[in-house]
Amino acid sequence: MPRQSISFSKPNDEWLKAQIDSEEYSSKSELVNDLIRQARKQQVHIDWLRVKLENSERSGFTNDSKEEILKQSKSLLDG
């Protein structure tokens, strides 16, 4: 696995240490990797919404009901 050296602001470093101290994570590396995985997953959702919005803007209207749109959004978030 590639190694990186990064610097954290004091508040961020203290937050990372608190997560380790609470035994939620075993190391800063594990925590940072998990945060990156979460951000990547969130980006997939953002990209999906962006495409939906762009398609909606081009079409003018959708035939999907509010309930259908909400169901699709929740389904994507549940992954």
Please choose, from the candidates 19, 28, 70, the residue with its C-alpha nearest in 3D space to the C-alpha of residue 49: 70
pLDDT tier for residue 79 given thresholds of 50, 70 and 90: low
Indicate the DSSP class of residue 6. -
pLDDT of residue 59: 79
pTM, two decimals, is 0.61
DSSP string, 21-68: HTTS-S-HHHHHHHHHHHHHHHHHHHHHHHHHHHHHHHHS---S-HHH
Please answer whether residues 25 and 19 qualify as being in contact, where contact means their C-beta atoms are separated by less than 8 angstroms: yes
Q: How many CB atoms lie within 10 A of CB 69?
A: 13
48 vs 1: which has the higher pLDDT: 48
